[in-house]
Amino acid sequence: MAASYWESTQRKYWTFTKQQLTLERKKVEEAERNLVTMYPLPDRRLLSIYFYHQLSKMARPLGIRQQPLATAQVYVRRFYTKVEIRRTNPALVLATALYLACKMEEYPQHIRMILAEARHCWDTSFNDISKIGECEFTLISEMNSQLILHHPYRSLAELQTQFQLTQEENALAWSIINDHYLTDLPLLHAPHVVAITAMFLAVVLKPTQSGLPVHAAGATNALQALGNARNSPTQGAQNRVQKLVDWLAESSVDMEAVVECTQELISLYEVWESYNDKTCKDQIAKFVKARGLDK
């Protein structure tokens, strides 16, 4: 992507502080207080995990790769900062986000194929292509036509050789970047900060094989290692970890932002342990059916 992140609409209009993001969501919830009270939903991160699983189920048979999938996840997260989820049919929103993301990432899919996979995935009754067209217009409108995204994958590709990541470490860093789309980090931090966090975690966690799962305890240990390396740079810090910390100290990258990203991922891995697919599905189905949003 030729355009600079620093001049992008992503940075100017879709990067928030935690306080700003909380305020935006509070405004949306207050405007729909009755719906919020009537139809309780799981933790936002648990919903994100469920949405990711549903998007993956739609994407897999169509051969859709990770970047369009990531773009769809960000579109969904942006949309739901502006629109209360209980006013929508998430099946339709996710299908439309995936359809739009594929077009934007130059991997277009026929609308009928997306619709077919959505119906199979969600066991939903909506079968009118025009609904996806209408929802697409709404998505674009709520995002103010600001659809170009910068992802951390490019920064990872540019920096991995500099820090001499092994193939396994690179795979783990890629996996951690995938995980960050289940959190608010795409709305809070620049892509390069997320990529650096992923590399740091990958180096500290020392994967023994590609695809090693990350968990809260491991990420917490990595956070402690970061603190140790910052506070005692000459006392026992591993060479490659120290190289990363030294590079951060000499660069313009905000070290506190890396710490915050790590903490956000720890929080995700902790809540992931309580994830239950059926609970999310049932609670979404409750308001969708009660409000006739599946028609």
Among residues 27, 24, 72, which one has the least CA distance to residue 51?
Answer: 72
* CATH class of this structure's domain 5-149+276-290: mainly alpha
CA distances from 11 to 14, 134, 139 (A): 6, 27, 19
Joined together, the tokens standing for residue 9 give 């609409």
Residue bearing tokens 């025009």? 130
Residue bearing tokens 């240990």? 221
pTM of the model as a whole: 0.90
Q: Which residues of 33-63 are buried (b: 16+ CB within 10 A; e: fewer)?
A: eeebeebebbeebbbbbbbbebbeebbeebe
221 C-beta neighbours (distance < 10 Å), count: 14
Helix, strand, coil % in the chain, rounded to nearest 5: 70, 0, 30
Say how many residues make up the chain.
295
Determine the pLDDT at residue 177. Answer: 96
Encoded amino acid at 201, one letter: L
Determine the pLDDT at residue 185. Answer: 97
CA distance 105 to 171: 22
* CATH number 3.40.50.1100 given to 152-272: no
Joined together, the tokens standing for residue 214 give 């990350």
Q: Is 96 exposed, middle or buried (0-12, 13-18, 19+ CB in 10 A)?
A: buried
Joined together, the tokens standing for residue 40 give 């309780």
Sign of CA dihedral 241, 244, 248, 250: positive
The CATH 1.10.472.10 portion of the chain extends over 5-149+276-290, 152-272
SS3 127: coil
Measure CA 293 to chain center.
25
Rounded to a whole number, what is the largest CA-CA distance in the chain?
64
Determine the pLDDT at residue 120. Answer: 83
Which residues make Cβ contacts (< 8 Å) with residue 168, sequence separation at least 6? 207, 208, 209, 210, 212
CA distance 36 to 20: 20
Instruction: List per-residue pLDDT tens for the chain, 295 residues long.
Output: 447 899 999 999 999 999 999 999 999 999 999 999 999 999 999 999 999 999 999 999 999 999 999 999 999 999 999 999 999 999 999 999 999 999 999 998 999 999 888 888 876 666 778 899 999 999 999 999 999 999 999 999 988 887 788 888 899 999 999 999 999 999 999 999 999 999 888 888 765 443 445 665 656 666 666 666 555 544 434 577 777 777 777 777 888 898 899 889 988 988 998 999 999 999 999 999 999 887 7
Residue bearing tokens 């469920």? 50
Among residues 64, 58, 29, which one has the least CA distance to residue 44?
Answer: 29
Encoded amino acid at 216, one letter: A
CA distances from 50 to 54, 81, 152, 154, 216 (A): 6, 17, 22, 26, 19
Joined together, the tokens standing for residue 52 give 């990711």
Joined together, the tokens standing for residue 45 give 């991160």
Residue bearing tokens 């709404």? 138
Q: What is the pLDDT of residues 241-280, one digit of tens each?
A: 777 777 777 777 888 898 899 889 988 988 998 999 999 9
